[in-house]
Amino acid sequence: MEESVSNFTPIKALLQSALTDKISDREVFMKGVDYSYYYEQEDDVTGEDTE
């Protein structure tokens, strides 16, 4: 039996613990920017092009 692709409840339950309510926190924002640059550098090292 296959699960419905329109049932997002399991995905939402998995992501709920990773979400934050500190959207105005500068430290959280800067950490997100840092991770973004980290992932871009990883693409440069592996030679992958995302465009």
Q: What is the distance between the alpha carbons of residues 14 and 33, in angstroms, rounded to a whole number?
A: 23
Domain encompassing residue 33 = 22-51
- What is the full DSSP assignment across 19-50? --S-TT-HHHHHHHHHHHHHHHHHHHHHT---
Q: Does the predicted model carry a pTM greater than 0.85?
A: no
Q: What is the pLDDT of residue 32?
A: 86
Tally of structural domains, the chain: 1
Phi, psi of 41 (to 5 degrees): -65, -35
Q: pLDDT digit string (tens) for 9-43? A: 888 888 888 888 888 899 988 998 898 888 778 76
**Residue 14 falls within a domain, yes or no?**
no
**Domain assignment present for 35:** yes
* Any domain includes 33: yes
Q: What are the two backbone dihedrals, phi and then psi, of residue 18, each rounded to the nearest 5 degrees?
A: -90, -10
The separation between the first and the last C-alpha atoms of the chain, rounded to the nearest angstrom, is: 37
